[in-house]
């Protein structure tokens, strides 16, 4: 049973460019959440997708957007990259049958470096 | 607003010691408290999940407890090994919050032979 898979694992961009990160959830999971982890800090919640819609969002600007596909996979898009967007981007999946269910399982992350 | 704090920020111990990592949270209306392990540059591995109706969970040499009234959780690691060296993160989700996790900054653990 494959766990949460993310791609690419590493990428380097320059300021002002755009990036797309991809995530395939664990088999049987229908909810995908994205987190940003800066060096030396805990992950911060970006947003969560369920039934192809953004269900909730953290304190991130509109430059951060996402999408969920019918097969539950998800993309995170970041426009107009800033140096401060350099971080490890983590995808987590869970099965949601209500507001209080679903242990989260995380992928290995995508390491983004903005030069 | 939920805030999660982990103490200590870093810990170095000799192999074989029993140790306790601490996590405190400000909002007692939590639903899940989850402990993770993170190796350098890697993703998060779930260690233990404690639901609000539970007081502790155990897995092998790991034991995690939850005290909602005091806003604290502890992760106990018995007979530490060099392979336990990693960053340990705790995260809390709010009741009704669709499992959005609020993380602490982590405790960096080094176990030396």
Chain B CB contacts of A101 under 8 Å are 99
Chain A CB contacts of B100 under 8 Å are 33, 45, 48, 56, 58
User: What's the pLDDT at B51?
Assistant: 87
User: What's the pLDDT at A14?
Assistant: 98
Average pLDDT, chain A: 94
- Name the residue among A42, A58, A107 with its Cβ closest to that of B43: A107
Q: Which residue has the higher pLDDT, B74 or B41?
A: B74
B31 Rama sector, left if φ>0, alpha if ψ -120 to 50, beta otherwise: alpha
User: What's the pLDDT at B99?
Assistant: 81
Split at pLDDT 50, 70, 90, the class of A101 is low
User: pLDDT (tens digit, 9 = 90+) per residue, B50-104?
Assistant: 988 889 999 999 999 999 999 999 999 999 999 999 999 999 988 777 788 999 9
A45-54 CB contacts, 8 Å cutoff, 24+ apart: A45/B100, A45/B101, A45/B102, A46/A76, A48/B98, A48/B100, A49/A74, A50/A96, A50/B98
- Name the residue among B32, B44, B101 with its Cβ closest to that of A45: B101
Count of CB atoms situated within 10 Å of the CB of A2: 8
């Amino acid at each position: 049973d494959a766990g949460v898979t993310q791609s690419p694992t590493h990428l380097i961009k320059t300021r002002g460019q755009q990036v797309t990160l991809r995530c395939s959830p664990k088999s049987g999971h229908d909810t995908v959440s994205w987190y940003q982890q800066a060096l030396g800090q805990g992950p911060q919640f970006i947003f969560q997708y369920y039934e192809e819609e953004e269900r909730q969002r953290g304190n991130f600007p509109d430059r951060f957007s996402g999408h969920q596909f019918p097969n539950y996979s998800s993309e995170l898009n970041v426009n107009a990259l800033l140096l401060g967007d350099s971080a490890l981007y983590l995808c987590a999946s869970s099965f949601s049958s209500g507001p209080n269910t679903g242990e989260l399982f995380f992928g290995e992350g995508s390491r983004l470096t903005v030069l | 607003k939920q805030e999660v704090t982990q103490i200590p920020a870093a810990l170095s111990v000799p192999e074989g010691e029993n140790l306790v990592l601490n996590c405190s949270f400000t909002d007692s209306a939590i639903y899940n408290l989850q402990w993770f392990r993170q190796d350098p540059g890697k993703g998060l591995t779930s260690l233990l999940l404690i639901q609000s109706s539970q007081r502790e969970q155990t897995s092998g040499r790991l034991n995690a407890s939850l005290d909602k009234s005091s806003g604290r959780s502890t992760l106990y690691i018995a007979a530490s090994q060099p392979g336990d060296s990693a960053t340990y993160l705790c995260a809390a989700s709010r009741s009704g919050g669709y499992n959005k996790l609020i993380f602490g900054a982590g405790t960096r653990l080094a176990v030396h032979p």
